Every structure is written in structure tokens, then in C-alpha cells.
Amino acid sequence: MQAPATKSAPLLHQEHDRLAIPEDVPELGIRGGDEGVIQRLTYLRNTVFAFVMVTYSTGQPRGWVVVEIKPERKVRSFTTIAR
């Protein structure tokens, strides 16, 4: 959901859905069930992928996880955030 304050003002609030990561990603310290924020959904060859940003409890970014949502839920790839 995007809701600018006025027509000419910049975007002040943007809301994204959360998604539970379906399996462990030890390289990022993620356990199955940990949640991230969906930043983008992509449909490619009858498959839906979610690009999910996972953060630490402090709000610092931990990494990106690409999750196949349909036809089956599984982690397809991941990347760490450069520090």
C-alpha cells in the first residue's frame, strides 16, 4: 500500500507484506519460520518468486532470500548484505 500525503509530495509510507522463510539458510543465520519483508514478486514460467529482505532484530539488513512461492514453497537462492 502506498499513500502519498498530497499529489506533489514524495512517498511518506510504504507497506510490504511479511513472509516466513520456508527452510533454514545457515549461511545467513536464518531458521525456517523466520520472517522477512517481500520487496518484489516475479512471475516466470508458471512460477511465482518473492524477493525477501531479512533483517536482524535491530533492523539492520541480514540478506536477501529468493523464495519460490508457487507451485511449491522453497528457498531458491540467497545473498548476504555487504558490510
What pLDDT score does 11 carry?
Answer: 61
DSSP summary character for residue 14: B
Query: What's the pTM?
Result: 0.75
Count other Cβ atoms within 10 Å, centred on residue 10: 7
Alpha-carbon gap, residue 75 to 23, rounded angstroms: 7
Q: Could you give the CA distance from residue 12 to residue 2 in angstroms, rounded to a whole number?
A: 8
pLDDT in tens, 14-37: 667 999 999 999 999 999 999 999
pLDDT in tens, 24-75: 999 999 999 999 999 999 999 999 999 999 999 898 999 999 999 988 999 9
